[in-house]
Amino acid sequence: MKPRTHKQDTQVIVYDADCIEQPGTELFDAESWEQSGGLVGLAEGRGSALLLETSFGPAVLRRYLRGGQAARFSRDRYFFTGFEHSRPLLEFNILATLQPLGLPAPHPLAAQCIRDGLFYTGSLLTRRIPDVVPLADLLGCEEAGPELWRATGACIRRFHEQGVVHADLNARNILIRDPETVYLIDFDRARIKKDAHRSFEANLRRLRRSLEKLWPGGERQNLEKCWSALMQGYRVLPEESL
């Protein structure tokens, strides 16, 4: 990919020039996509994420929104400390860094940051990963056998081996295509820090809490078996790390 930066007035757009020739605000405008017929659906459980069909392939458009108590004051405005520190540009750069490493993460297409005085709003456009479902949708299902859980653990370990600390590793941010093909998504506030063992352990604890919260029927014994398989896969070093 070829990351490029386009700055105009109070906005900055970073984009992959291999996919997008002329970046503009219409890339991040839901109404424009709807009028052109490019808006084909919504991504469940992912806030304002829109599913798009574009000239550069299937894509996901996500507007950055606040959650929790902060949303009471502003749903989509963040304090501005510089374009380079904005969440959309940081996430684009993280994803761009992951691409040459061959890690199973979304391909970044473009990110936008618009300054408005002391605040900013932002959006991120990524290539859509086809034929996947969130791990959360497979909990307790027969197809979610030991092989899938081992593959999930191995996928997480690949990211940790490259120093990637995911800020919100939960069952909805892990996508499954088949028992051997697993992806991680949502790298907002992620960082790369070698040998961040405590952070890696915190990632796993957060995922465990997510599974406990979402597991159907409180089948604790089944959860323990699946978690054991995940950790078995996690403890096996990826081939590229040997």
Q: What is the pLDDT of residues 103-144, one digit of tens each?
A: 999 999 999 999 999 999 999 999 999 999 999 999 988 888
Q: Are residues 119 and 147 in the same domain?
A: no
Residue 241 lies inside a defined structural domain of this protein: no
Return mean pLDDT, the chain.
92
Mean pLDDT of 228-240: 87
| Per-residue pLDDT, 218 | 65
Catalytic one of 168, 178, 186, 188: 168
18 part of the active site: no
> What are the tokens at 87?
């969440």
Report the distance separating Cα 27 and Cα 66, nearest Å.
21
Q: Please tell me whether the overall predicted TM-score, pTM, comes out greater than 0.85 for this model.
A: yes
Q: Are residues 19 and 97 in the same domain?
A: yes
Q: Are residues 45 and 161 in the same domain?
A: no
Of 127, 153, 173, the one marking the end of a domain is 127
Domain count, the chain: 2
Residue-range definition of the domain harbouring residue 160: 133-236
Q: Identify whether the C-beta of residue 211 lies closer than 8 Å to the C-beta of residue 223.
A: yes
Residue 242 lies inside a defined structural domain of this protein: no
Please write the tens of the pLDDT for every residue from 160-170: 999 999 999 99
pLDDT band, residue 242 (cuts 50/70/90) = very low
DSSP states of 165-221? E-S---TTSEEEEETTEEEE---TT-EE-TT-HHHHHHHHHHHHHHHHHH-GGG-HH
